[in-house]
Amino acid sequence: MNTTIQSKIHGLIKNIKNEKISHNDQSLFCSYFYDLDSLKTHSQEIVRELPQSCQMFYATKANSELPILKTLSEDVHGFEVASLGELELIQQHFPNHPIIFGGPGKTNDELAACLKSKQVELIHIESFFELIRLSDLCKKNKQSCDILLRLNIELPSLPKTKLTMGGSPTPFGMDEETLISCLSFISRQNDIHLKGIHLHLASLQTCEETHLNLIADYFDYFKKLQKHGQLTLNHLNVGGGIGINYNDPNHKFNWRYFCSKLDTIIKNKELTNTTIRFECGRYISAFCGYYAIEVIDIKETHDQNFIICRGGTHHFRTPYAQGHSHPFTILPIEHWPHSYTRPELKQATANIVGQLCTPKDKLAYNRHIHHIRVGDIVIFSHAGAYAWNISHHNFLRHPQPDMHFIKG
């Protein structure tokens, strides 16, 4: 955790705890903290380093808290959405920002809303049937529509990550056989305009060279498709895919180096006149978030120690969803108002878990603990993306965490 923001969050937590103490409030501590200043700095750096022909759209699904979106709206080129709810959110609060609409399983209502919206620039088509339904809506509404076709194909440099979405059976995109059917269909339509393709084949990329090689393959395929299909395309969406190394919180994808090399590849592949769009989410907002929870109990069972905390994966599903032990720090809280002995653990290995009635409610495991007590606060970093927003909030119906947005 950044030492400056660590000090700021520690101070806020202690102030909140002192306020509770002064009001004899016995409720347990459970909060999200979002550092909007660091988010702003990070997003500015990301956009500033992009090659001239590239744009950055924020994947709203990563974190759709309004203060997060407002902070990012000043720098990103637009928003990527994947539902009617996300579309309406962006239209309501950011009426001047371009929108691209992706994701499998689009309903007719969602497609119709895209056609109606003046902000939606492109719809990313995921299947042949989706294309047929969109064309039918265009004819009924006497409208035209610009689209990308999302592909699910095998490429030479496609890595195998925890979240590979290309070259194997997934709900995302279409194979080359379906692509041929779509191209044939589009060639007979006057209302559907194909602008390019969408290639987001792998996520959680933490190696710059690996991702550069994959994107170079994207470029080669894009050019080959144009040549052999006699197509004029001007948009290539390369998705997001930049990962976070949760096992090593000090590691960070070298975006500046990546963009420098990417610029060279774009020039060498003669794609400077093609609009290349990224739609990152995790890499943009993960670093700004922190999930802080109070220790309720410390127990040993079957030779393992368990630190049980207020909250759990119903608030913070990231560790379970990504299959890792999440990085954390411990904030000691000295106040202990009870007459009974305060449980503690020193110099031991332990698992940090939540309150849920499932053994899967595990946030960190087999971690060395220097010293922790009931009443101390565990603070998980890297909690600003695919955290609160992907969690099953109503399981057991525990209270929701407080939200704190830090600015200035």
CATH code at position 334 = 2.40.37.10
Instruction: Give a yes or no: residue 44 inside a domain.
Output: no
Tens digit of each residue's pLDDT (9 = 90 or more) over 349-399: 999 999 999 999 999 999 999 999 999 999 999 999 999 999 999 999 999
Instruction: Give a yes or no: residue 64 inside a domain.
Output: no
Q: How far apart are CA 204 and CA 163, in angstroms?
A: 7
CATH label of the domain that carries residue 162: 3.20.20.10
Tens digit of each residue's pLDDT (9 = 90 or more) over 95-151: 999 999 999 999 999 999 999 999 999 999 999 999 999 999 999 999 999 999 999
Q: Which residue type is seen at 160? A: K
Same-domain status, 109 and 245: yes
pLDDT at 165 over 60: no
3-state DSSP call for residue 240? coil
pLDDT at residue 6, rounded to an integer:
85
Boundary (domain end) residue, out of 250, 280, 310? 280
Q: How many angstroms separate the Cα of 9 from the Cα of each of 181, 277, 291, 378, 379?
A: 55, 35, 11, 12, 9
Same-domain status, 162 and 267: yes
pLDDT at residue 23, rounded to an integer:
86
Task: Give the count of alpha carbons within 13 A of 139, CB side only.
Answer: 8
Catalytic residue among 114, 138, 280, 357: 357
pLDDT at 319 over 60: yes
Boundary (domain end) residue, out of 258, 280, 302? 280
- The percent of residues in the chain predicted with pLDDT above 90, rounded, is 87
Q: How far apart are CA 98 and CA 78, in angstroms?
A: 5
Q: How many residues does the chain have?
A: 408
Mean pLDDT, the chain, integer: 94
- Rounded to 5°, the CA angle 242-48-385 comes to 35
Instruction: Give a yes or no: residue 78 inside a domain.
Output: no
Same-domain status, 316 and 387: yes
Q: Which residue type is seen at 329? A: T
pLDDT at residue 2, rounded to an integer:
73
3-state DSSP call for residue 33? strand
pLDDT at residue 375, rounded to an integer:
96
Same-domain status, 229 and 252: yes
- The percent of residues in the chain predicted with pLDDT above 70, rounded, is 97
Mean pLDDT over 259-280 rounds to 97
**70 — pLDDT class (breaks 50, 70, 90):** very high
Instruction: Give a yes or no: residue 236 inside a domain.
Output: yes
Same-domain status, 223 and 262: yes
* Strands in 260-315 per DSSP E: 275-278, 289-301, 304-309
Boundary (domain end) residue, out of 240, 259, 280? 280
pLDDT at 162 over 60: no
Q: Specify whether 357 is catalytic.
A: yes
Q: How far apart are CA 359 and CA 378, in angstroms?
A: 19
**73 — pLDDT class (breaks 50, 70, 90):** very high
Count structural domains, the chain: 2
**167 — pLDDT class (breaks 50, 70, 90):** low
Same-domain status, 271 and 156: yes
Same-domain status, 229 and 172: yes
Could you list the residue range(s) of the whole structural domain that residue 153 is in? 98-280
pLDDT at residue 1, rounded to an integer:
64
Same-domain status, 229 and 293: no
Instruction: Give a yes or no: residue 152 inside a domain.
Output: yes
pLDDT at residue 161, rounded to an integer:
53
pLDDT at residue 169, rounded to an integer:
75
Same-domain status, 253 and 292: no
Same-domain status, 256 and 295: no
Tens digit of each residue's pLDDT (9 = 90 or more) over 7-52: 889 999 999 988 888 888 888 999 999 999 999 999 999 999 999 9
Task: List, as own/partner pairs, every contact residues 151-156 make where C-beta atoms lie below 8 angstroms and the sequence separation is at least 24, other chains included.
Answer: 151/175, 151/176, 151/179, 151/197, 151/198, 151/199, 152/201, 153/199, 153/201, 153/221, 155/201, 155/214, 155/217, 155/218, 155/221, 156/217
Instruction: Give a yes or no: residue 56 inside a domain.
Output: no
Instruction: Give a yes or no: residue 66 inside a domain.
Output: no
Choice between 204 and 314, residue whose per-residue pLDDT is larger:
314
Instruction: Give a yes or no: residue 351 inside a domain.
Output: yes
Same-domain status, 303 and 395: yes
**228 — pLDDT class (breaks 50, 70, 90):** confident
Tens digit of each residue's pLDDT (9 = 90 or more) over 198-226: 998 888 899 999 999 999 999 999 999 99
Same-domain status, 329 and 272: no
**170 — pLDDT class (breaks 50, 70, 90):** confident
